[in-house]
Amino acid sequence: MEHLTRNSQSPLLFGPETTFAAYVAQFSGHNARLETLGIFLSAVVRATNDVPFFPTLYKTDEDKFRLRKLATRLSDHALEVCLSLDCLNDLQLAFQYENFIVHTFVDGDQSYSSWRRLGDVIASMLALGYHERVETRSRIPDFLVELRQSAFARIYTDDKEVSIFLGRPPRLSRRFCHFRIPIALDSFEANESASGTEVVGPANEIKIDYRAGCSWAALCALLKEEILELFIEKNREHCVQRASVIWAKAEAQWKQLPTHMRYDVSCLNDYRRSPFERDFLISARLDHIHIRFLLRFILINSLAQPDDEMIQIAHEMLTLVVQAVLARDRLANSGSGLVWKVILYGLPASGIILLAILEQRNPYHFGGLSRAKVLQNLRILVAEIQIGALSHPREPNFALLTRAAQTIENFLDSEERHDHHPNGQINTHHDAAPGQMGPWASNLNLEAWDFDLGFWENLAEHPFLSNLEFPT
């Protein structure tokens, strides 16, 4: 420990000619530091999340969770010592970020510990100057410029996604950042020949890898920050105009994304694509649709009564999430895990769909969609949660997923038990007409991001569901 601490007090040296191997040699082997140990321990925790059975370390869930807790505790101790040394560098920032991710696994995405650690990561990144023009610093080798741009893009994205999920203001504003990403994905426009055939250009040479995933997520996060600002815009007309501009940017951004990076329905069955590439394609499309989903929140009059466009957006988002859940054995994490996709995209989409069905006058067809297809997606999501495919009882997101599944299942059961009015209206309230839910709707207090545990508990109080008991 003393040797590691002493090494951590030494600066990481580099110049314009420094190679990646020479840089890594400063914190590996005999030069290993506390940051090195911490990143290794973080990798152990991540592995316990992806590898259910590893006989030399754990054979049961109890062993696995014990190892996860131990590795997290040791990682925390190593980080505390690193911070006390006051020797901030690139490696420590990477360690801090990995420690934040570890706590989302151990404490949950809603925990204060995870929220605080993300704030610490942002503070360290700003102290290092990653938000400035790192590429103009002449002494920095190219690989380190790319590393710092990737770190900025990843941290900037996480700040926006966590803010949306928790309903809190973002802490890293684009207004004070020189926004650069590792790969300029949106700079390649598709050109067409005289015959109308798309010309294959440099865009097709861009590899689908972590850099590409990080870059696309950051581009989407940039637009999501603009959307977050609209939620405090008091001028309705100005808000609508800005929302239109943001969506035009999002559409142009999607069209400029290289063709081989765009999702299509056949990609999950394309044997030529790797599990990583399949996950990237779904993630990229989800990020794009999420922008439209958030924008629609700005424009509808009541979240308790979603319009047809909101329903269609939610349906596409839920369909993508369900496809990812069903194809999980053919996917590899390209930047965001499956559970995070379900929580950030799947649950909000499900919540909107439930609200829409409860408020619709026509019980068999709504929003231009097949009711049977919509209900099928909900049933699949509930089934996958209930069989434990997404979360274990000892994992922190289990309560949120389970409560959401219980509410959705209760709704699906109610669909079969309740009588319908002769004109096709669902009997959503004994005394109120469809779309007028009285006290329940006024107490819902939906915000664009309020699809956490409280939302599902409130939804359970809907008059259509409240007379049925939840399973325990």
Per-residue pLDDT at 22:
95
2 vs 266, more confident: 2
Whether the predicted model's global pTM rises above the 0.75 cut: yes
Helices (H), 203-274: 210-230, 236-256
Q: 416 versus 420: which is more confidently predicted?
A: 416
Cβ partners under 8 Å of residue 368, min gap 6 = 308, 312
| Domain-located, residue 175 | yes
pLDDT beyond 70 at 398 = yes
Q: Give the per-residue pLDDT at 279.
A: 95
- Phi and psi at residue 46, to the nearest 5°: -60, -40
CA distance 216 to 222: 10
Query: Is residue 121 within 8 Å of residue 156, measured between CB atoms?
Result: no
Q: Are residues 290 and 310 in the same domain?
A: no
Same domain, 443 and 415: yes
Q: For residue 460, what pLDDT is reported? A: 54
The pLDDT assigned to 456 comes to 62
Q: Which domain holds residue 354?
A: 305-472
Question: Does 312 lie in the same domain as 293?
Answer: no
Q: Is residue 39 part of a domain?
A: yes
> 363-394 pLDDT, tens per residue?
555 667 778 888 899 999 999 999 998 988 88
* pLDDT surpassing 70 at residue 465: no
Last residue of a domain, one of 241, 267, 299: 299
Average the pLDDT over 214-229 and give the result: 95
Percent of the chain with pLDDT over 70: 80
Q: Which two tokens stand for residue 363?
A: 């019980």
- Residue pLDDT, tens place only, 77-122: 999 999 999 999 999 999 999 999 999 999 988 899 999 999 999 9
The 8-class DSSP code of residue 28 comes to S
- For 455, residues 6+ apart whose C-beta sits below 8 A from its C-beta are 351, 446
Q: Which of 56-60, 265-269, 278-282, 421-425 has the lowest mean pLDDT?
A: 421-425
Residue 253 near residue 181, CB atoms below 8 Å: no
- In the prediction, which pLDDT does 471 show? 41
For residues 173 and 268, state if they share a domain: no
Q: Specify whether the CB–CB gap between 90 and 66 falls below 8 A.
A: no
**How far, in Å, CA of 215 to CA of 413, rounded?**
43
Q: The tokens of 472 are what?
A: 């325990």
Query: Do residues 241 and 366 share a domain?
Result: no
For residues 309 and 295, membership in a common domain is answered with no
Question: What is the structure's pLDDT at 364?
Answer: 54
Q: Which residue has the higher pLDDT, 436 or 73?
A: 73
Judge whether 244 lies within some domain. Answer: yes
pLDDT at 218 (0 to 100): 95
Q: What are the residues whose beta carbons fall under 8 Å from the beta carbon of 388, sequence distance 6 or more?
A: none
- What is the count of structural domains for the chain? 3
422 lies in some domain: yes
Count of beta carbons in the 10 Å neighbourhood of residue 263? 21
Say whether both 149 and 258 belong to one domain. no
For 125-139, 254-268, 330-344, 398-412, which range has the lowest pLDDT when averaged over its residues? 125-139
Q: Return d(Cα 29, Cα 42) in angstroms, integer.
A: 18
Q: Cα 150 from chain centroid? A: 17
Give me the residue label for tokens 């408020």.
359
Specify the pLDDT at position 202.
61
Q: Is residue 352 part of a domain?
A: yes
Q: What is the pLDDT, as a whole number, of residue 451?
A: 57
Count of beta carbons in the 10 Å neighbourhood of residue 294: 23
Average pLDDT score over the chain: 83
For 255-303, the DSSP string reads HHS-GGGS--TTGGG-TTS-HHHHHHHHHHHHHHHHHHHHHHHHH-S-T
Answer yes or no: do 130 and 5 share one domain.
yes
What band does 447 get if pLDDT is binned at 50, 70 and 90?
A: low
Q: Is residue 211 located within the same domain as residue 277? A: yes
Cα dihedral 257→261→262→268 (10° resolution): -170
In the structure, what pLDDT confidence band is assigned to residue 430 with cuts at 50, 70 and 90? very low
Same domain, 271 and 309: no
Tokens coding 8: 């951590």
Tens of pLDDT, residues 288-314 = 999 999 999 888 876 667 888 989 999
All residues at 6 or more sequence positions from 237 whose CB lies less than 8 Å from its CB, including other chains:
none
- Give domain status of residue 192, yes or no: no
Domain C-terminal end among 281, 299, 317: 299
Residue 159 located in a structural domain: yes
Boundary-marking domain end, from 272, 299, 326: 299
Residues 174 and 275 in one domain: no
Report, in this order, helix, strand and coil percent for the chain, each rounded to 5.
65, 0, 35
Same domain, 239 and 375: no
Residue 288 falls inside a structural domain: yes
So what's the pLDDT on residue 199? Answer: 36
